[in-house]
Structure 1
């Protein structure tokens, strides 16, 4: 298993900010709602945060997202106009360090009721075995080795891919919405508890489904699955370590060829929002298959499911097939 180091959580700070409109789907050109429908205006940074807001807020909230479907969240850029519109939200739900542009916009927005999902559970560091990060000054230990700036001490932000941690975040979001909209606090708590129960059931599905496998090692272009691997006793090996679409070094390819033989790896995974070029390159060199392991950073018509739960269950099936479930 990969070593991990827990990073203490910060306390959630939330206060009610009165606002009238929220940013919509996120090309950023327009704002939605005029505040007359009585709903809480929530802006989510990207899909996993949007899903929480919708599932917990339901009819009491109007949810917009900063990241359009199909856009790689790490690459998001936000205009000054969008930042100004962001300041009109009642609540901002984001994951600090995942999207630097969002962090900057949130800081400039002036909205007091901001919810950083990273403060609602414990972040960990994950390292991909044998993977170096040459030339990345100041970031010798990157979260999951994917090369993004993940903030303090290389903490891995991909918490939503662990149903247990995602459930912890869900409860924190429920509490934050209750503070922002006390009149509907009971509904927010009920919805958050129901979502947490569904996530607990999903956790059981993964635990049972990955208990007995021929191998515990999987190879993926986007090293986003450290929490999932840690939770279910698996080992993740990332290809390039810097970007899902970047070319892996010859040395890394050689390492992975050796790993695939040693650990009886059958499949190289790629994701829906990035090219499968690197996965196919390694697969051709090693005689392996390719398949999708979706980091769930966005839902598109190419996704193997319509929402978080459907895609996670598709991920489980693909892992079971690749790892040789007994």
Structure 2
């Protein structure tokens, strides 16, 4: 299957090239300006690079709003864009399964490739849970257990802060004259991330109820960092369907613990969350996992920061 996918991409790139040659050529932004061309895989990488690069780079995003970051299939146009790029930034192969296959067909000898999570520990910490939580964690559905590796590292803002030098270094290597700008932009963004982290820490500091229920297991790094308990209805994959037994256990847990709200993720089907809410009388609302760009948010500043602030406001309903 992988061989077929590579062949498909290769043929698609050739067809795109032939088509382009048969039409009037349209100059690319990169060739007509002094800006760097940076391609990013998923939404968090796009927001991060945009903040650090500022006006010195043309930054593009591959996975669009509400697209599946795990199972995205790059188009021929996307491959061509990476072929013309100076830098390609992705999160991790634990999230973007398709990156290795993409890079196998890219022909760009000068491309700088940045794995933003390089050096980060994506494994979740072991923590002490209540008996009710441990009972839920022991529950298996179709032989599947929740994974200890969570690729959603960006939901802990300090993970992003720690990795910013990777972006500064890559941009500076490609554009040495911009080093001062990149460094200053990174420092400014770093302060915003510190402020965001402080807001979360202060909000949850004295909370007695520290458990929240989500439809998609994406908030492990956030929960670990702020000493919260994430109860996930499904696993890391949005494609895994919950069993009737597991659903019944979750409903009992929500009732017993007086959980006030069930969170589902923007772009996902909310049927499971709705089913639990119907049986328990709880509210359902969106919690952004930011795998892809939120279609319902629009900010002139930074959508990542806006989404994380909205997440904080929504989490206050459960963490109190």
Specify the TM-score bucket, using the shorter chain as the normaliser: 0.7 to 0.9
Matched, 1:163 2:160: no
Q: CA RMSD, aligned part only?
A: 2.4
Show the 5 A alignment for 1:143-292.
Answer: 143=148, 155-241=149-235, 243-244=237-238, 246-292=240-286
**In structure 2, how many angstroms separate the alpha carbons of the residues matched to 1:85 and 1:312?**
30
Distance 2:249 2:298 in 1: 30
Using a 3 Å threshold, how does the CA distance of structure 1 residues 304 and 314 change in structure 2: closer, same or farther? farther
State the alpha-carbon separation in 2 of the partners of residues 241 and 157 from structure 1: 12
Report the TM-score when normalising by structure 1. 0.79
The answer as to whether partners of 1:270 and 1:293 remain within 8 angstroms in 2 is yes
1:144-184: per-residue Cα shift (whole Å, max 9, x none)?
Answer: xxxxxxxxxxx321111001101112232122211222111
1:42/1:61 contact within 8 Å kept: yes
For 1:225 and 1:86, how far apart are their aligned partners in 2? 30
The corresponding residue for 2:137 is 129
- Of 83, 105, 118, 1:108 maps to 105
Counterpart Cα distance in 2 of 1:255 and 1:125 = 23
CA-to-aligned-CA distance 1:204-245 (integer Å, 9 cap, x gap)? 000001112241111101111000000111011111225436
Counterpart CA distance in 1 for 2:283 and 2:270 is 12
- CA separation of 1:36/1:242 partners in 2, compared to 1, >3 Å: closer, same or farther? closer
In terms of fraction of residues, the more helix-rich structure is 2
> What TM-score, normalized by structure 2, do the two folds share?
0.80
Q: CA deviation at 1:265?
A: 1.5
User: What residue number does 2:96 align with?
Assistant: 99
- What residue in structure 2 maps to residue 313 of structure 1? 309
Which of structures 1 and 2 has the bigger CA Rg?
2
Q: Is the 8 A contact 2:141 2:242 kept in 1?
A: no
Are residue 61 (structure 1) and residue 61 (structure 2) matched?
no
SS at match of 2:163: helix
CA contact (8 A) 2:38 2:87 kept: yes
- Cα 1:238–1:179, aligned 2, differ >3 Å: closer, same or farther? same
CA contact 2:211–2:318 (8 Å) conserved in 1: no
- For 1:234 and 1:249, the matched residues in 2 are separated by 25
TM-fit CA distance, 1:195: 0.7
Moved more, 201-210 or 252-261: 252-261
Residues 245 and 275, structure 1, Cα contact 8 Å, conserved in 2? no
Report Cα offsets for 1:9-56 as digits up to 9, x if no partner. xxxxxxxxxxxxxxxxxxxxx994142311110000011000011100
| Contact 1:39-1:62 within 8 A present in 2 as well | yes
Asked if the contact 2:265/2:288 (under 8 Å) is kept, the reply is: yes
SS where residue 321 of structure 1 aligns?
Answer: coil
Distance apart, 1:120 and its partner CA: 4.8
SS of 1:269 mapped into structure 2: strand
Are 2:111 and 1:117 aligned? no
Q: CA deviation at 1:99?
A: 1.6
Q: Which residue of 1 aligns with 2:31?
A: 35
SS of 2:137's equivalent in the other structure is coil
Among residues 68, 72, 75, which one is paired with 1:76 in the alignment?
A: 72
